[in-house]
């Protein structure tokens, strides 16, 4: 049987030395009453109280803060001339020409270009964005550029502007003589808050 014995306490009749439950109208009535009260009790404990708990969870969760949103397609503004002067610069400029897309999951994100689905992974710390772009096959064909070259992207998210923007630098790793190139990116799809707070 389950948690409670449904039949306990309902009328019985004597049959020799044993007490036996027989399907009488009083027995049926007892059974229905007990069944209903047990159902009501179970419903309160297992359904109603958890639903109240859910309301509490939703209320308390409203104060939680999640990382700022950087997901979406970004349009990049960069001095192509300065970038081309760097090792791998022409390839990077070609990749950036069509902008990039960020797919965000909490603090982590992947950065992709039109022709490269997951070119980089990065981390968001507060409003600081950092990512390292790995070289593509095209990069390797550029003189002075090879598999070992990585390009770092460091930027700050401007959350004040109407259009969310990124402002920062692109640097080529292992190249002390190369000076960072400034860039600016503007998010194309300015998605608002999804759902009720």
Q: Rule CB under 8 A: which residues touch other proteins? A: 1-4, 6-7, 12, 14, 17-23, 35-36, 38-39, 42-43, 46-47, 50-51, 53-54, 57-58, 60-62, 64-71, 103-108, 110, 117-118, 121, 191-197
CB nearer to other proteins: give 130 or 144: 130
Q: How far is C-alpha 35 from the chain's CA centre? A: 45
> Half-sphere exposure (CA, 13 Å, Cβ side) for 158?
13
CB of 28 to other proteins, least distance (A): 11
CB nearer to other proteins: give 110 or 152: 110
Please name every residue paired with 167 in a beta bridge, in sequence order, or none if there are none: 156, 184
Among candidates 62, 60, 97, which has minimal Cα distance to 76?
97
CB nearer to other proteins: give 143 or 196: 196
CB nearer to other proteins: give 21 or 132: 21
CB nearer to other proteins: give 1 or 161: 1
CB of 96 to other proteins, least distance (A): 18
CB of 36 to other proteins, least distance (A): 8
Q: 187 vs 133, 153, 161, CA distance in Å?
A: 19, 16, 11
Burial 40-49 (b: 16+ CB within 10 A, else e): eeeeeeeeee
CB of 85 to other proteins, least distance (A): 31
CB nearer to other proteins: give 103 or 171: 103
CB of 111 to other proteins, least distance (A): 13
CB of 179 to other proteins, least distance (A): 33
DSSP letters spanning 64-110: ---PPP--EEEEEEE-HHHHHTSTTHHHHHHHHHT-EEEEEETTEEE
How far apart, in whole angstroms, are the C-alpha atoms of residue 26 and residue 28? 5
């Amino acid at each position: 049987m389950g948690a409670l014995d449904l039949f306990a306490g309902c009328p019985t009749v004597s049959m020799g030395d044993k007490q036996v439950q027989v399907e009488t109208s009083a027995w049926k009535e007892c059974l229905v009453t007990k069944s209903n009260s047990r159902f009501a009790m179970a419903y309160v404990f297992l359904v109603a109280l958890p639903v109240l708990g859910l309301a509490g969870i939703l209320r308390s969760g409203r104060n939680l803060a999640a990382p700022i949103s950087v997901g979406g397609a970004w349009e990049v503004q960069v001095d192509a001339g300065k970038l081309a002067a760097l090792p791998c610069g022409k390839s990077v400029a070609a990749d950036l020409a069509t902008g990039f897309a960020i797919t965000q999951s909490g603090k982590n994100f992947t950065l992709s270009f039109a022709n490269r689905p997951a070119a980089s992974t990065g981390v968001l710390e507060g409003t600081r964005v950092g990512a390292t772009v790995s070289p593509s096959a095209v990069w390797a064909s550029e003189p002075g550029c090879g598999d070992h070259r990585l390009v770092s992207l460091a930027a700050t998210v401007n959350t004040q502007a109407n259009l969310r923007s990124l402002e920062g630098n692109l640097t080529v790793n292992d190249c002390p003589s190369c000076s960072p190139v400034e860039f600016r990116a503007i998010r194309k799809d300015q998605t608002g808050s999804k759902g009720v707070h």
